[in-house]
Amino acid sequence: MIGYLGVDTDYSLKGKTAIITGGTAGIGYSTAKFFAEKGVNLVLVGRNPKADEIAKGLGASHIGLSGDVRSAEYRKTVIERAALAFGGADILINSAGISALDKAELISEEMWDSVIDVNLKGSFMMSQTFGKYLIDNKRPGSIVNLASQAGVVALDNHVAYCASKGGVIAMTKVLALEWGKYGIRVNAVSPTVVLTEMGHKAWDGPVGDAFKKEIPAERFAEPDEIAGIIGFLCSGNAAMITGHNLIIDGGYTIK
């Protein structure tokens, strides 16, 4: 058991090492930037062949590893490289994800499998690999999974995405339950639309304007807002928060 360590009034993460899947773009990249500013060592994970170049852009000591987290050999390599470069890892952010939108009666089996495979299976397998590493090394740690408001409420044309993110939330709770005794905290964040590059492409215009009218805050989220909350969940200030799904939706799901 890891006892009470006090409240960190400086909100410091300095000296920690974070593995971030999907870390080369979107929320993952915004989180990487936030962590870099907080003195965190970064291991950016993703299929982007320029992963290492992107990581080095945030600081010469950071590393990026191109590959697919669904590969057991690749996941093992990620942990080994983190240990070699930084002496270990403390944080895992599962940010990699895809979407495939279609009506439930029309979505193909291939589209369904792809979304579940990346969003749910990929997040679990990376969490399992990381969790085993922490347990074997008697090392406390923190995992944050990117879920979505779509895992909490139903959205038209989102059947596979809603199912995958609902699964991520349930998975988060089970991992928190099983691994709490090892000092491993596992939480999820569930944003509304986030104005990443992809978010702008999908939601700028009349459809997005109509959607915003359904949100009490009357706007979408900025990537930096999500990154800051992820950082909080990984800090000592959140030492008693585990198994939680933090909804970041401007009030959309309260209706």
Return the active site residues.
161
**From residue 224, how far is each of 2, 69, 168 by CA, in Å?**
30, 24, 22
Note the Cα 170 to chain centre separation in Å: 15
Q: Residue 19: what are its φ and ψ, rounded to 5°? A: -100, 125
Q: What is the DSSP letter of 105?
A: T
Half-sphere exposure of 232 (CA within 13 A, CB side): 11
- Give the other-Cβ count within 10 Å of 228's Cβ: 15
At 193 the three-state DSSP class reads coil
- Residue 13's SS3 state is coil
Q: Which amino acid is present at 51? A: A
Residues 6+ apart with CB under 8 A from 85: 41, 43, 61, 63
Whole-angstrom distance between the N-terminal and C-terminal Cα of the chain? 39
Looking at residue 77, the DSSP 8-state letter turns out to be H
Residue 16 zone, left/alpha/beta (φ > 0; ψ -120 to 50; rest) = beta
d(CA 25, CA 102): 24
* Distinct helix (H) and strand (E) counts, the chain: 9, 7
